[in-house]
Amino acid sequence: MKIRHTGFLSLAAVSLLSTQRGEAATGKGIFDEKCMTCHGENGRGQTPAGKALNVKNLNSKEVQKESDAELIAAIKKGKGKMPAFEAGLGDPDIQLVAAYVRTFAKKK
Ligand code: HEC
């Protein structure tokens, strides 16, 4: 009984760790962690912080017509009230999260 209990706990710990690691490597994982407070889960910015800062709807044509380089520059250097993420995220992560922003175009 005692052995089975311990086994269950370490299995749970391992699967928790691997989920967290898996998420950190995806655009969605980064977005949910660093961007969602302002931009909202679906990129529409309908959060209290998003409304207060008047964030752009990331699904909009206005944002989606920008080039990858422009989106990446905005994420790296910040823009208006948008903070810079250059110091907190490496280039690979910034590219992943920019690619994730692109997926919002299809979710109207
Ligand atoms: C503190 C709130 C806040 C957070 C956190 C935040 N943003 Fe923003 N973001 C803004 C605001 C405000 C704007 C509008 C900037 C402007 O054009 O004045 C914006 C604009 C943008 C734009 C459009 C830029 C453009 O060129 O029009 C993109 C893309 C974007 N954010 C992506 C992200 C990503 C990706 C993250 C996470 C890594 C993130 N944001 C985190 C507030 C935030």
Looking at residue 65, its amino acid is K
Domain ranges for the chain, please list them: 27-106
Check pLDDT > 90 for residue 99.
yes
- Topology of domain 27-106, CATH: Cytochrome Bc1 Complex; Chain D, domain 2 (1.10.760)
pLDDT classification of 106: cutoffs 50, 70, 90: confident
Check pLDDT > 80 for residue 95.
yes
What pLDDT shows up at residue 65?
96
Alpha-helical (H) ranges within 1-108 are: 2-24, 27-34, 36-39, 48-53, 61-64, 68-77, 91-103
| pTM of the predicted structure, to 2 decimals | 0.82
For ligand 1, residues with CB inside 6 Å are 34-35, 37-39, 49, 53, 55-56, 58, 63, 66, 70-71, 74-75, 79-83, 85, 97, 101
Rounded to the nearest angstrom, the distance between the alpha carbon of 75 and the centre of ligand 1 is 7
What pLDDT shows up at residue 5?
57
Rounded to the nearest angstrom, the distance between the alpha carbon of 2 and the centre of ligand 1 is 51
Check pLDDT > 80 for residue 94.
yes
Q: CA-CA distance, 87 to 77, in Å (whole number)? A: 9
Across the range 10-29, mean pLDDT stands at 59
- The more confident residue out of 17 and 10 is 10
Q: CA-CA distance, 79 to 93, in Å (whole number)? A: 18
Burial 44-58 (b: 16+ CB within 10 A, else e): bbebeebeeeebbbb
Q: CA-CA distance, 45 to 104, in Å (whole number)? A: 12
pLDDT in tens, 39-63: 999 999 999 999 999 999 999 999 9
